[in-house]
Amino acid sequence: MEKQQKSGLWQALSLAGQLGYTIAIPLVALALIGRFLDKKYNSSPWFLLAGILVSLIITSIWVWKKSMSIMAEMDKELKKQNENFEKIAKNNEKIKNNDNNSVPKIETS
């Protein structure tokens, strides 16, 4: 596997891990807090549901921000690649023009 593919694989696995923790930690923590408050105030299941709802909101905001960040990085990388391709194309065109001009023409009778 190429270096770039390995790097992309590790980035994807890292992102998947971050996503898992980002969903699991707030959900479990706020659900436990909600359950504790429900037992304390005898209001089951309202605090539990509120905790789950708050965790979903927090998680959604994080996922949205992370996806915007990733999209911005991808856009930046694509622009850089396009600039490189344009430079290569211009250089190839210059080389082609120089080769055509520098090759002596042989006239045959």
Residue that the structure tokens 């605090």 belong to: 47
The token pair at 39 is 């037992």
If one counts the domains in the chain, the total is: 1
pLDDT band at 107 (very low <50, low <70, confident <90, very high): low
Per the domain annotation, does 104 fall within a domain?
Answer: no
The token pair at 18 is 């971050």
Percent of the chain with pLDDT over 70: 84
d(CA 57, CA 17): 19
Q: Does the structure show a pLDDT above 60 at 103? A: no
Per the domain annotation, does 39 fall within a domain?
Answer: yes
Per the domain annotation, does 64 fall within a domain?
Answer: yes
Per the domain annotation, does 63 fall within a domain?
Answer: yes
Per the domain annotation, does 3 fall within a domain?
Answer: no
Per the domain annotation, does 51 fall within a domain?
Answer: yes
Residue that the structure tokens 């969903």 belong to: 23
At 48-72, the pLDDT tens digits run 999 999 999 999 999 999 999 999 9
Owning domain of residue 51: 18-96
pLDDT band at 34 (very low <50, low <70, confident <90, very high): very high
Q: Does the structure show a pLDDT above 70 at 15? A: yes
Per the domain annotation, does 74 fall within a domain?
Answer: yes
Contact 26, 55 (CB under 8 A): yes
- Measured at the CA of 100, the angle between CA 98 and CA 103, to 5 degrees, comes to 100
* DSSP-assigned states of every residue in 12-31: HHHHHHHHHHHHHHHHHHHH
pTM: 0.67
- Mean pLDDT, range 65-91, rounded to an integer: 92
